[in-house]
Amino acid sequence: MPSDTESTGKLVYKRVLLKLSGEALMGPTEFGIHMPTCLQFAEEIATALRDTGVELCLVIGGGNIFRGLAGAANGMERSQADSMGMLATVMNALAMQSALEQVGVPTRVQSAIPMDTVCEPYIRRRAIRHMEKKRVVIFAAGTGNPYFTTDTGAALRAAEMSCDAMFKGTQVDGVYSADPKKDADAERYDHLAYQDVLARDLRVMDASAVSLMRDTNIPIVVFSLHKKGSLQDVLLGLGTSTVIS
């Protein structure tokens, strides 16, 4: 693997898990799924798959539909609320599957909560085989357990799939010392150590997800998915991002 500052123009990461927030699927709306935005992301993924040959899997949050923590804060029992949040991620996964297949990308959804009439159950070896056949696999329903975020679910799946990196597509082109939309002096980092993220409470992902990536030595690459061609650029070591390793 090249150094963090080296630009190669060649595929840097052969197998990647891409983590998207549920809010990313809202596009310009305030709630739910905005299919034109899903199609925009699908086009980015399709181009990257075609031009680089990367093996790709996805995890999508559910915050655009329902957040378990918000439900619990409003008096709902936490395990029940988290189960509802996991179901929201299945809805997002099916929407993204539809968008990807519209642009010609074969896609499978695997859920940690079995629902055989809707999608496949999560089976590790089957998921790996799908990716080897150049199908995109979307992992839904988090870990299948309450009290775990989709960040942690993404970290777990990245480790189980033996991914070379976990990509986190965000609104900005990396990790900053503060919110760059609110603080003009915010510093963007090219590279951070896992411990830096945890010690500075930079809130890139929840602490358990960062710790699991540290323990499995899988780098986290934070970049903006809203810039056309950014996914492919980062896969080739050419784009702007922050690498946490």
Kindly state whether residue 3 falls inside one of the protein's structural domains.
Answer: no
Q: Is residue 86 part of a domain?
A: yes
Report the predicted TM-score, pTM, of the whole model to 2 decimal places: 0.93
**Is 7 domain-assigned?**
no
Q: Is pLDDT at 150 greater than 70 in this prediction?
A: yes
**Structure confidence by residue, pLDDT tens digits, 49-68:** 999 999 999 999 999 999 88
Angle, CA 108 vertex, CA 65 and CA 45 arms, to 5°: 75
Q: What are phi and psi of 169, to 5 degrees?
A: -85, 125
* Domain assignment of residue 68, yes or no: yes
- Provide the Cα torsion 29, 30, 33, 36; round to 10°: 10
Percent of the chain with pLDDT over 90: 81
Q: How many domains does the chain have?
A: 1
**Domain CATH number, residue 230:** 3.40.1160.10
Chain segment 96-146, per-residue pLDDT in tens: 999 999 999 999 999 999 999 999 999 999 999 999 999 999 999 999 999
Domain that holds residue 74: 15-244
Binning the chain into helix, strand and coil, the percentages to the nearest 5 are 40, 20, 45
Residue 5 counted as domain residue:
no
Phi, psi for residue 144 in degrees, rounded to 5: 85, 5
* Pair of tokens at residue 21: 């927030």
